[in-house]
Structure 1
């Protein structure tokens, strides 16, 4: 659809930025603060990434207020997050094709903006929906809100790295694109891509079809 407004949605952690060490350390530290062994729970934490931290805490039987304890630890470490290789070039390339960029994350808005700025990616992002703005993934609500903010009638898909992301995409009725370049585990998806540049190739082909 040459000339039509079009967009692509991305998850943040594990797709645009490398932040697993930050998240893991923050989770283990927050658990220690409340007298729980985070090492015993970290696998369950990783399996639920993409959801708001309050949802993860409830599912792991962690006490009310754990989310804020986790965020306190994470804010001290967020400066260690870095963009994944090839992501800055990918986003710049998509923008050159006229593709609007939306980011949908389970991370709270303040931390999301801070990390995007610290990684030098914020200038490429046209809309952001964070985990503290309403129902989180895997509900379709945050993806649909992001599409509304972008105002683009054509969405090429949602690029994520977890089963939570893929379920959110399916519920929002957009293609579920699994990004493997951040170390994701294979899960059911509509399309699996190994490198950031594969995304740009996909959009380029869509533009010429």
Structure 2
């Protein structure tokens, strides 16, 4: 299934100064690790039976404790899930094209941030292990705002830290919660399709301003910031 790359008319003449990235499914392919960690946590806390990872993945973008509440699973699954996520972190890979995008955006003068459903310490640890942490001026986790995604708090906090107005930023996400957070904050939203979402139709129904098939598609929307 193919979708066009779309730009929204009302921001096409606005030079973007910042890009806010979701982490899982956008910067890193961590789904295999998540699946293993979730299965181990489920077995330890709930017991035998298939772990409902497909349902869990549909809620990605939200904070883990919030997902547990939505799925009516024990909140005590968080400790073994986080433990195993750290243990398996070396199996996480960076998506093809992401390094090129980050390098190019930085050379063009844009400021970059991450807004993720992970906790801040876990997100920064993973990015540091992958050698990507220096690219981001700020990495914000769900435990570092009053209301995580889909509320706008995380995106607004990123804008404040970056000192960039909403109309000069764009957020890249692979889940409806990412797009909702961006839209509520008044930021252009882009749907990332390089890691096929659990439900592409649901993601597109969330009304992204831009649909991106590959990380490098973003570069056409983020030209160099003019020198003053």
What is the TM-score with the length of structure 2 in the denominator? 0.84
1:5, 1:98 within 8 Å by CA — same for their partners in 2?
no
The structure 2 residue matched to 1:190, chosen from 209, 212, 220, is 209
The structure 2 residue matched to 1:139, chosen from 148, 151, 168, is 151
Deviation at 1:78, TM superposition (A): 1.3
Deviation at 1:32, TM superposition (A): 0.3
Tell me: CA distance 1:37–1:173, structure 2 relative to 1, closer, same or farther (3 Å): farther
SS in structure 2 at match of 1:39: coil
Q: More displaced, 162-171 or 62-71?
A: 62-71
Q: What does residue range 49-64 of structure 1 map to in structure 2 within 5 Å?
A: 49-64=60-75
How large is the Cα RMSD of the aligned pairs? 2.2
Residue equivalent to 1:149: 161
Tell me how far apart the structure 2 counterparts of residues 157 and 148 of structure 1 sit (CA, whole Å): 14
The number of aligned residues is: 207
What is the TM-score with the length of structure 1 in the denominator? 0.91
Is 1:112 the equivalent of 2:131?
no
SS in structure 2 at match of 1:101: strand
Tell me how far apart the structure 2 counterparts of residues 13 and 191 of structure 1 sit (CA, whole Å): 19
2:45, 2:76 within 8 Å by CA — same for their partners in 1?
no
Is 1:160 the equivalent of 2:173?
yes
Q: What does residue range 63-82 of structure 1 map to in structure 2 within 5 Å?
A: 63-82=74-93
Deviation at 1:65, TM superposition (A): 2.3
Residue equivalent to 1:128: 139
Q: In structure 1, list runs of 5 or more residues that go unmatched.
A: none
Q: In structure 2, list runs of 5 or more residues that go unmatched.
A: 1-11
SS in structure 2 at match of 1:157: strand
